[in-house]
Amino acid sequence: MTTNSQNLTELRKEIDLIDSAIVKLINKRGMVTSKIGEVKKDKKHPIYSPDRESQVYARIVAKNKGPLTSASIRAIYREIMSACLSLEQPICVAYLGPECTFTHQAALKKFGSSVEYLSCNTISDVFREVEKSNVDYGVVPIENSTEGAINHTLDMFVDSPLVIYSEIYRRIRHSLLCQKNNKNLIKKIYSNPQVFGQCRMWLEKNLPAAKLQDVASTAKGAEIAAKHADSACIASELAAEKYGLKILAKSIEDNAVNITRFLVLGKHMSKVSGEDKTSVVFSVKDKP
C-alpha cells in the first residue's frame, strides 16, 4: 500500500511538472500570437484566418501519436487558439440565439469560448449586426441533411453585402426534454419547425396526441417547457442542463446522420486556400 501511495505521489509530481511546462509554452505561444496580431493590423489583414486555422489543425493531428484521440487534441487546440485569437484583437461573434441553440454550439465549435458572443433573436438580426460592424462575424444555419435549405438565410443573401467567410458542419442530436420523467403528462411540445421535421416519424410513433408548438429556437422551447409540467421540448442536452430539464429520450432524430451546415458571415472574403467552395445565389421575378 505504501509503495502504491509513493508511486501515486511521484506520478502526480510528474504531472505537475508537465503542467508547468505546458502553461509556460501556451503563454509563449500567446506572446508570439500578439506579435502576429500587430503585423496583421499594420498590413490590414483580417485577424481571423480560416485557412491558417485549418493548417494548424491538420498539422497537430498529423503529429498526434496518442494516447489522446485526434478529436481530443482538436478540442484542446480549439480553446488554445481561441484564447490566442483574443490576444490579437477582441472578437465578437453574433449567432442565432438564445444560448444553447445548435447555432450557438456551432459558433463555440468554430471560435471557442474566449471570444465575445452576441445572441440574436432572428437570422435577419445576425446579418444586420455584421452589416453595421457591431460584431466581427455572424453564424447562421444554411442547410440540414434531412430538411434541406434554410430559406430565410438564402433570402438574406439576395440584398445583403455580406459574404460567406467560412463554414461549420455539426452533427445534430435531438433530445426530448421536460420537467417530469413521465411521457404521459406531455400535452404540448415546443421546438423550431425545422426540428419537428427532423423528428417527424419519432413523434408520430411515440407522442401522436401531443400538440406541436412552433417557436423561434430550440432554446426558447426549453425555456417554455421549464415553466409548464405538461409541456416538453425538443432541444440539446446542453439546454437540459441550462434550464434544469430531464432528458426523456435521446437521439430522436429520424435520420441517424443528421448534419446541419452553418455559415460564418463576414464583410470580406477569406484568403484563397486552394480548397475553397463557390456559392451562387440569385433571384427571379415571380411571373409567367
Q: What torsion, rounded to 10 degrees, do the Cα atoms 12, 18, 19, 24 define?
A: 150
- CATH hierarchy code of domain 7-88: 1.20.59.10
- pLDDT reported for residue 273: 66
Alpha-carbon distance of 204 to 253, in angstroms, equals 12
Alpha-carbon distance of 217 to 136, in angstroms, equals 23
CATH 3.40.190.10 is the classification of domain 175-249 = yes
Paired strand residues for 119:
95
- Spell out the domain ranges in the chain: 7-88, 175-249
Alpha-carbon distance of 270 to 50, in angstroms, equals 7
With cell 446541419, the residue in question is 260
Short-list 170, 168, 161, 169, CA closest to 266: 161
Paired strand residues for 117:
93
Is 190 in contact with 231 (CB distance < 8 Å)? yes
Secondary structure (H, E, C), 183-194:
HHHCCEEEECHH
Alpha-carbon distance of 30 to 15, in angstroms, equals 22
- pLDDT reported for residue 1: 47
pLDDT tens for the chain, 288 residues: list them: 456 666 888 899 999 999 999 999 999 999 999 999 899 888 888 888 888 888 899 999 999 998 999 999 999 999 999 999 888 888 899 999 888 888 999 999 999 989 999 999 899 999 999 999 999 999 999 998 877 888 889 889 988 999 998 899 998 899 999 998 888 889 999 998 989 999 999 999 999 999 999 998 888 999 999 999 899 999 999 899 999 999 999 999 998 888 999 999 998 877 766 677 777 777 777 777
